[in-house]
Amino acid sequence: MESRHAAWLNSLLGQSLVPDFAPVEAPIDQGLTLTRLAEFVTDPRSTFPSFDTTVVSDKNNFFVLDFILFLEYIESTFYAVNVPRFAVIL
């Protein structure tokens, strides 16, 4: 999904949607994801959700959903800040 969002931003900049036909859609580990996001989370009340990839349970499924929702909040903030910087208003 994120590669599709990046392609959309590239289109706003008049760039190739997928530069040099780079491979997309490869998943990354949740720990690496959280490490990369940590510097952008400045609210001290925030916690970093995580889930166990080896556990099948309703409780763990909710942890997965919390993780995805956390990423969506980060993403929406990113777009709220950056899209106006690059969008052309007609």
Whole-number pLDDT of residue 2: 65
What are the pLDDT tens digits along the chain (90 aa)? 566 677 777 778 888 777 776 666 677 788 888 888 788 787 777 777 788 888 889 998 888 888 888 888 888 888 888 888 877 766
Whole-number pLDDT of residue 25: 66
Q: What's the CA gap between 30 and 61, in Å, rounded?
A: 15
Whole-number pLDDT of residue 44: 72
* Listed residue (58, 77, 59, 78) closest to 9, CA to CA: 78
pTM: 0.57
Q: What's the CA gap between 16 and 7, in Å, rounded?
A: 8
Q: What's the CA gap between 26 and 90, in Å, rounded?
A: 36
What's the one-letter identity of residue 13?
A: L
Going through 1-90 in order, the beta strands assigned E by DSSP cover none
Whole-number pLDDT of residue 89: 66
